A = this chain, B = another copy of it.
């Protein structure tokens, strides 16, 4: 039987670990903060490994879900020390395409395969197993583990070679930034008109301007509640990656640039750990705030 491990138990990783365990797939977990790993391992009846290398030594499929490019490379380097030949490492973090390519090169030296497989759908999607997953790397490796991925994600698409999962995620993050701008601008306008905003959200959701963010974050935004969800500082980090990719491709992304400025301002004011919908803080009508 295939043995499966997961590295990184943040809000997203923990949700995915639970769904993998529920489907009977999970052997063990690793987390930098050990107590978090131990407590989740106890809950799920799996092993809490002391190091990424210990996890890699026994697992055939290794999932990773961390935050930053340097974390991915650090974990992949540790995994590569003990990784089995033929193992598949699936990184679900959001990082740059070039980091994905570096990770793949490190693992290729040990005859292990790498898939960049970032996800979208928020903490809700991670909990419910309804994430959308965009995969770069060998199609053969993807097909081998697709039944396992189905425990985590409702849509799994192969986008091309290593790095193209991350490039697709960048499209997603740029679009999410623009939609955040669109929804906060329009709801602030509605609030200024004195409209019943709960009904506004309901009716607009049903039309051509309907979107996931409005339905899921509109109601909390209107209560001035900004619990994550998706942390603003993380989206800021993702958009910095997107900015570099856009510069390299000689294409302008003005809404994403505007969002970077707005997020930086909010982070300075201490709102970096709030949901990205806290962008509304900068837009709410002054008369009413």
Q: Residues of A at under 8 Å CB distance from B? A: 119-122, 125, 131-134, 154-155, 157-160, 164, 167-168, 170-179, 181-183, 185-190, 192-193, 195-196, 199-200, 202-214, 216, 230, 242, 245-246, 249-251, 253-256, 258, 285-287
Contacts and interface: CB of A to CB of B under 8 A. Distances in A.
> Main SS of the interface on chain A?
helix
Given A168-B204, A178-B181, A157 B212 contact: no
A177 B172 contact: no
12 contacts: A132-B204, A133-B203, A155-B202, A167-B190, A176-B209, A181-B255, A189-B246, A192-B250, A193-B245, A209-B212, A209-B213, A250-B287
Number of copies of this kind of chain in the complex: 2
Nearest to A167: B193
Contact of A186 (B174, B190, B207, B250): B174
B175 A125 contact: no
B193 A249 contact: yes
A128 to B, nearest CB: 12
Nearest to A287: B250
A250 B133 CA distance: 42
Nearest to A176: B209
A26 to B, nearest CB: 23
B255 A204 contact: no
Task: With a 10 A CB-CB cut-off, give which of A203, A213, A250 has the most chain B CB atoms.
Answer: A203
Contacts of A183: 175, 178
Nearest to A174: B186
Contacts of A246: 189, 192
A251 B203 contact: no
A184 B164 CA distance: 19
B120 A185 contact: no
